[in-house]
Amino acid sequence: MVKKISEYFQSLKWLIFVLTLLFILFPVFWVRIGVVWLIILLFVNRSIRIDKKYSFLFQLIVFSFGFIFSPYWNALDSVFHKVVLLSLLFIFGLWWSYFSSEEIQLEKVNIKKRYLIILGLLIYLVNYLPLKTDIAWRGDEDFHINLILELTAHLKKMFEFYATHISMDSSKLGILIVVVVILLLFVYKTIRLNKRKFKLSKFLPFVYILIPTTALLLYPPSDISSSHIDILSIRNVLRYPYIEKWLNILFTFPDSYGDIGLYRVIPFLSTILISWFLFCKLKNKIQNDLLALIFSFATATVPLIYFYSSILYLEMPIIFLMIVCIFDLNFLISSDPKRLIRRYSWYLLLLLSFLKEAALIFLLVIVIVRLIYQYKKYYSSSHKFIILLSEIRVGVMILSPIIIYLTFRSLFSDVRPYGGQVKNIFEINYYRVIIQSILDQIGFLFILSVLGFLLLIYRKKYLFAAVISALIICYLWFFLADGSDYIGYSRWNLYLLPMILYTSVFLITSLKNKYILVLSIILLFSNLYLSPIKIDGVRLGNWGSPKIDMAEYTYPYNKAMNVISIDKKTQKVLLLGQYYPYNGLNYYQNKYNINLDILEYPFHQESVNYSFGNARFDKQTEVDLLKHFFTDFKERRLPGSNIYEVDTILYHSVNNINLNNKDTYGGKFVITDRVSNSLNSLYILKNTSN
C-alpha cells in the first residue's frame, strides 16, 4: 500500500518528535548519528509517494542554503547591487525548484532491517578510534572546521547584535518569546482543526518572503555589518561550495567545541549509506543476506573509503550520490523528461550540483550522453526539435547550480584555479603513478572492478561500459591537467570509486555464492594489509599523496593542549618546528576554555628564516634547525621581541626525533612532557626563568 509522505509523518509524529528532541538536547556523536539511523530505518520497506509541493519545497530549501543563505551575493560592494543580486538569485531559485520537481514514487524494498543495523554497527566499530583522532595537520580538515566555527560564531553574533540593537531588555524578550510560542501554537491548532482542508500552497507565499528576509538579516548589506559584526571572508566562503558548512552545523550546533566526531558525521554517514545501498543491491541479486553483508562491509574497509570515512571532507557524500546515480544510469539516460523528474535519482543528480565543483565532470558526461541517446532515439521523429528543447532544459536544471557557483568563484575569489597542463595527459609515466596509487589505495577491489568491466563488455552492456569509460577517462584527464604534483592523490581517486564499485558489484552478482564468499574474504584481508590507519586510529602520514608532501598527518594536539590548559600560569605559547601552518589550535583552545597568545616560528627546509614552506625535511635537517633556533634564541637574534616573552614551547617534531629531557634549551627551556601517538610526538617545554 502506497502512502503519502505526510501520512507517514502523521502516524510517526510523536516518535519523530522524541528523536528530534534527543538530537537537539544531546550533542554527542553516537546520539546524533543514532537518531539519523533510526529515522532512515523508519522509512525502509515502505512505499511512499511524495507530492510535488513537498519535492518543490525540498528543492527550494536546497537552493536557498546553496545560494541565498550562503553569502556569495554579499561579494558585491553596493547595497543596491547586493539586494538586486539576492532577488535575482531567489527568483531563479523559485523557477528552478518548480520546474525541476514533480511527484515522486519511492518503491518498497524488502530488506531485513537487522542486517542494516549490524552493518552500521560494524562500520562504526572499525571507525570508532579514527573518528576521535585529532584534527589533521596538513590537508584541508582544519580549514573546513574553522569555516564551520566561523559560521557558528557569526550566527551567534547576529543573534546578540539584534538582541542588543532593538533595545530589548530581558522582560521584553521574554514577552516576545511567549507571543511567538502562542502564535505557533495557534497555527498548529488551526492546521489540526482544518487538516483536511490544509494546503501547503497557502503557506508558500510566507516562505517566499521569509527566505530572502532571513538572508538579509543574516548578512545585512549595510554599514551595520561592517561596524558591528565580522562579515565572513568571501575568499574562504567561495573556496568550496558553502552549503556543506550548513549541513555540518546541523550536527555540531550548539556545542561546537565538544565531540570532534560531530564534524565527521557527514563523511561517516555517507559511508554507512554507501554500504547499505550496496547491501540492498547485492541482496536483491544474490538472495543471500549474509554474503551481501560481508561484501558490503568489505567495501567499507577499502583503504580509500576507510581513510575518508572519519575525516571532514566534501567528497564522501558526493561519492554516495554518484554511486546511486551510476546504478540507476539506464533510467537517467533513457527515460523521457516527464518520467525522469519523477525518479529519486534525478533529485540526487541535482543535489550533486551543489556540493563540489569536481562533480561537474560527472554531470557533464551524464548530460552529454543523455543528449546523444535521446537525439538518436527520436532522430526520425517529427517532434525532435521539441524533444531537443526539453533536453536542453534538463541540462540547464542539472548544470545551473554548479555554473552559478563557479561564476561567483571566478569573479570574486583568488583561490587556485584548476590547472591547464594538458601535456600531462600524454606522459606515460604519469599513468604508471596513477595505476600504482589505485592499487595502493583501492587494492583488490580494483582487480574485481577490471574483471567486472570486461564482463560488462562480454555481456554486451555497451552503454554502461561506454559511460563508465568516459567518466574514468574524463576524471583522469581532468586531474592530470590540474598539475603533475597531484597525480595519484587519494582525494582525486575517490571520484573513480563509483565506477569501480559498480563494475565490482556487477562481477560479484554474476558469481556463485561460494566464489562470492572467497572473494569477500580476500578483499577483507587485502584491505587490512593496506589499511592507512593504525591500531590507535592514527592515519599514516601523507598517505595517498605519491608525488608531493601535501596530505594529512595526525599529531596529538588534543592531549598536548589539555596538558597546557592544566597549568593556569601559561599565557604565551610558541608553536615551533612545523613547516606548514596548523589551524586546529583555535578549536582546542576553546574546547579547554583557555585563551593563549600563540606565536608560530616554522622551520623551513632551505633556510633558517623561519618562514613556512611546503616540503618535508629529513631528521638530520630537523636536528640542525632546532639547534640553530635555540642558538638564535639565546643570542636574541630572532625576529620580533615578543618571542622572548613566551613561557611555553610546543615543539612539533616532524620526524619524531628524540630530545634529551635533561638538557636545557636556549638557556631557559626544559622538557616537561612528551605527548605521543603511535606515529608522532609533540614536546612541551617550559620557561624555567618564569
**SS3 of 173-203:** HHHHHHHHHHHHHHHHHHHHHCCCCCCHHHC
- Integer angstrom CA distances of residue 15 from 2, 19, 157: 21, 6, 34
Q: Which helix (H) or strand (E) holds 225?
A: helix 223-228
Residue 218 confidence (pLDDT): 86
d(CA 652, CA 615): 15
Q: Which residue numbers in the chain have pLDDT < 70? A: 1-11, 165-204, 221-232, 419, 604-613, 690
Q: Are 69 and 232 in contact (CB under 8 A)?
A: no
Residue 434 confidence (pLDDT): 95
Q: Are 308 and 69 in contact (CB under 8 A)?
A: no
* pLDDT tens-digit readout, 587-598: 999 999 998 988
> What is the pTM (predicted TM-score) of this model?
0.91
Q: What's the grid cell of residue 687? A: 620557561
- Integer angstrom CA distances of residue 463 from 173, 331, 336, 456: 63, 12, 17, 9
d(CA 630, CA 669): 10
3-state helix, strand, coil in the chain (%, to 5): 65, 5, 30
Taking alpha carbons only, the member of 37, 40, 65, 46 closest to residue 8 is 46
Cis before residue 267, ω within 30 degrees of 0?
A: no
Residue 205 confidence (pLDDT): 73
For 581, residues 6+ apart whose C-beta sits below 8 A from its C-beta are: 600, 602, 612
DSSP 267-326: HHHHHHHHHHHHHHHHHHHH--HHHHHHHHHHHHTSHHHHHHTTS--SHHHHHHHHHHHH
H-state helical runs in 378-443: 384-412, 428-442
d(CA 219, CA 83): 11
Residue 517 confidence (pLDDT): 96
* pLDDT tens-digit readout, 192-203: 544 544 455 566
Q: Are 496 and 475 in contact (CB under 8 A)?
A: yes
Domain ranges of the chain: 1-43, 174-198, 557-687
Taking alpha carbons only, the member of 522, 524, 46, 516 closest to residue 290 is 516
